[in-house]
Amino acid sequence: MGFKEDADFARFVSMGAVGTAAVARNLRDQHGHAPIELERYAMANKVWQTKVKRLRLPDLACVRCGRRVESRAKSKLGIILSHSDTPGREWHAGGMRPDDWYAFLKADLSVFPAHAGSPTYFTTGALTASVGGAKRSAPKAASEGSEVTLTWPAWVPGRSGWFRGVDDEGRIVCEWEDGRTTRYWQWRNWPEPRYTYLDPGDSILGEESIVAGVVAAASELGCPGELWDLASDLGAPDAVDRYAAIKAVGATNRVDLAPRLARTTEHPEEDWRVRVEAYGSLARLQPEAWTDQLQELAADPEGAAEQHMEAVFVLSEIPTEEAATALATVASNRDLAVEVRSASAWGLGQGAALPSPPAAHHRRRRSLLSRFTRSLRSRTSPTTSPPRSSVGWRNRMNDGLRSLHSSCSDIGRWLHCSMQPTRTPKHGSGHFARWATSRPRSCGFSPGIG
Ligand SMILES: [Zn+2]
């Protein structure tokens, strides 16, 4: 992958992250939902070489009503979805039920912080009903699985103003900020039925508002409340239903359902990804009893590389001291592959925030990280040594360090200095000494979305 592709890829990934965060915020603040992320670290999975083949999951789910939401942010807004005729890769695949929502919004990454518009929601059912009117692009290269894009007819004006209604001749009337008026007649060429999404008098934001389209907009966006029967979904026949319920049990602190999760971990026919998720929720609910088992999965000599990585990623989302200790233990275990160890160090900076006050938190994290870096410097086993000449390893490590850096600048700065391949350990120790005696800054990192 060349530099340009790398940059494009990073932009694509952040577009998804920015969009999902904006949709979660909108669902929570405007509509009273309690969304959690179902999809784990889409970005992390791309950064590391060991790929975890995950269940295809919606981006978000509300832990109260159970509604699932896919977010689709684009620099040019439209009702657009990727599609492949390959079973399991259709636009609607991946655990989206007829009443679940697709959220379309504009995201602009050219400004800092990135800007996201307000989402427009459509149900899977409404998109299915109107899919006959969607335009299908030419397939991309065969290597990409003959993926196409489906574009449902819609109108997103380029400038801002107000929606005034539909006139007697069926034209959409908009008044712009400069006082001019547009009568948009072209939408009469779209297949019927056609819809407008604003009420007369509503404002239009240029490039951010979908004014009209062929898909019926989702009605009743407010959260209807506690409708999700988690206990029943833990025994559902569909793996995505079980996975989502397991994640919600951990997020909502349903200790009463812990015995059910424990049974899932023992079920011999259960999908390994669902089992790892059950360990993760258990480690949230009962850290002392379950975190060690997750750590064992991360270091299990019998386990596959993707299982090690997934266990590390699950640990790195759990905001307990036990999880941070487990990550540090994995990171300093010289019998493990360097990528699993690096991911653990990265995970300490990602989400395994400690619930202690900032100063204690900082000291604790500092000692955990020094354990890890000491072990890297005194490495003895050639099979697990970081191949410092390898550009790929360095890039991945630097990526992890950047993430550490943003969450805890002192630790990140020191790790970054001590791991530069041109620096000797002695030099690195000097950095450590300066770092260790400097006053801790606060770690302004908070896990989770929004
Ligand atoms: Zn809800």
Domain extent listing, the chain: 1-153+222-228, 154-213, 286-437
Lowest mean pLDDT among 114-123, 138-147, 188-197: 138-147
Confidence band (pLDDT; 50, 70, 90) for 348? confident
Provide the residue type at 268 as one letter: P
Show Cβ contacts of residue 39 under 8 Å, excluding neighbours closer than 6 positions: 20, 54, 57, 58, 59
SS3 160: coil
The per-residue pLDDT for 136 is: 95
For 217-276, the DSSP string reads PPP--S---S---HHHHTT-SSHHHHHHHHHHHHHTT-GGGHHHHHHHHH-TTS-HHHHH
Q: Which amino acid is at 188?
A: R
Helix axes 338-350, 305-315, angle to 10 degrees: 20
Highest mean pLDDT among 93-107, 300-314, 344-358: 93-107
Cα 78 to ligand 1 centre (Å) = 25
138 vs 231, higher pLDDT: 231
Q: How far is the CA of 36 from the centre of ligand 1 (A)?
A: 10
Pick 154-213's CATH classification: 2.60.40, 3.40.1350, 2.30.29, 2.40.50: 2.40.50
Q: How far is the CA of 251 from the centre of ligand 1 (A)?
A: 14
**How confident is the model over 46-104, as pLDDT tens digits?**
567 787 888 889 999 999 999 999 999 999 999 999 999 888 889 999 999 999 999 99
Using the mean position of ligand 1's atoms as its centre, give its distance from the Cα of residue 322 in Å.
31
With 90 as the cut, is the pLDDT of residue 182 above it? yes
- In angstroms, the CA 40 to CA 120 distance is 24
From ligand 1's centre to the CA of 351, what distance in Å? 24
Residue 13 has pLDDT above 50, yes or no: yes
Taking the centre of ligand 1 as the mean of its atom positions, its distance from the CA of residue 24, in whole angstroms, is: 11
* 248 CA distance to ligand 1 middle (Å): 12
Which amino acid is it at 275?
R
For ligand 1, the distance from its centroid to the CA atom of residue 101, given in whole angstroms, is 12
Q: Mean pLDDT over all residues of the chain?
A: 80
Contact 282, 289 (CB under 8 A): yes
Distance 337 CA to ligand 1 centre (A): 41
Determine the average pLDDT of the residues in 381-390: 41
Q: What separation in Å is there between the alpha carbon of 103 and the centre of ligand 1? A: 15
Give the Å distance between the CA of 30 and the centre of ligand 1: 11
Q: What is the mean pLDDT of residues 20-45?
A: 85
Q: How far does residue 25's CA lie from ligand 1's centre (Å)?
A: 13
Amino acid at 358: P
pLDDT beyond 70 at 34:
yes
Q: How far is the CA of 249 from the centre of ligand 1 (A)?
A: 15
* 64 Cα: distance to centroid of ligand 1 (angstroms): 5
Comparing 293 with 41, which gets the higher pLDDT? 293
Q: What is the pLDDT of residue 395?
A: 56
CA of 35 to the centre of ligand 1 (A): 7
pLDDT band at 405 (very low <50, low <70, confident <90, very high): very low
Residue in 304, 317, 225, 228 with CA at minimum distance from that of residue 272: 304
pLDDT score, position 211:
98
Ligand 1 centroid to residue 126 C-alpha, Å: 19
- The more confident residue out of 118 and 436 is 118
pLDDT at residue 413 in the model: 40
Distance 65 CA to ligand 1 centre (A): 4
Query: pLDDT: is 66 or 143 the higher one?
Result: 66
252 alpha carbon to ligand 1 midpoint, in Å? 13
Centroid of ligand 1 to alpha carbon of 97 (angstroms): 15
Cα(433) to centroid(ligand 1), Å: 50
Query: 32 CA to middle of ligand 1, Å?
Result: 7
Q: pLDDT over 90 for what percent of the chain? A: 55
Check pLDDT > 80 for residue 119.
yes
Separation of 243 CA from ligand 1 center, angstroms?
A: 18
The CA 226 to ligand 1 mean position distance, Å, reads 8
pLDDT of 416 strictly over 60: no
Say which residue, 378 or 242, is predicted with more confidence: 242
C-alpha 222 to ligand 1 mean position (Å): 7
Residues 295-311: what's their mean pLDDT? 93
Residue 281: closest CA among 299, 263, 305? 263
Going by pLDDT thresholds of 50, 70 and 90, the confidence category of residue 412 is very low
Give me ligand 1 centre to Cα 28, in Å. 8
Separation of alpha carbons 125 and 98, rounded Å:
5
pLDDT value, residue 450: 24
Q: How much distance in Å is there from the Cα of 254 to the middle of ligand 1?
A: 17
Dist. CA 199 → ligand 1 center (Å): 24
Q: Is the Cα dihedral 333, 339, 345, 351 positive or negative? A: negative
pLDDT value at 354 more than 60: no
How close is the Cα of 225 to the center of ligand 1, in Å?
6
pLDDT band per the 50, 70, 90 thresholds, residue 441 = very low
> Tell me, what's the pLDDT at 437?
35
Q: Please tell me the distance from the alpha carbon of residue 217 to that of residue 123, in angstroms, as a whole number.
A: 7
How far is residue 44's CA from residue 26's CA, in Å, rounded to a whole number? 24
> What tens digit of pLDDT does each residue of 41-62 get?
654 555 677 878 888 899 999 9
